Copies of this chain bind each other. A is one copy, B any other.
């Protein structure tokens, strides 16, 4: 009764279907951040610290400016986070060799340990979701997410994926 849309692929662009996708993003994002949030809470860090740690781990020796472009925040906001991470010995900042204005960031051993802990927790949930959904669903998931990104961020995202395959 009135549920033909569930099996009718021609309806997948209907307002109702799109709206359900919007709600799915909202609810899924909560699950996405939950496990690392729990760990961060015990350390007096927040999501902003997690993001910085993640992308420094991902692109070792990245500069502050590059990180700003990926995170999409102001330098003041990022600086506050980096300052605490450096003070706590999780991140190391080195003056650039060719261009001495730049600071190159990398995780210390301690920072790498926390990164692994956060990453393991977040990946565990993701992997379980992937496993439950299967490879075809995962491919579709990635395709739709890429299509949702701003073009500029999509390029950055793709560059990250290429650098260590």
Contacts and interface: CB of A to CB of B under 8 A. Distances in A.
Interface of A: 2-3, 5-6, 9, 12-13, 15-32, 34, 51, 58, 72, 119, 122-123, 125-150, 153-154, 156-157, 160-161, 164-165
| Secondary structure class of chain A's binding surface, majority of residues | helix
A22 B123 contact: yes
B148 A28 contact: yes
Given A2-B165, A142-B21, A157 B27 contact: yes
A32 B23 contact: no
B127 A13 contact: yes
Given A3-B165, A29-B29, A130-B12, A138 B23 contact: no
A157 B128 CA distance: 19
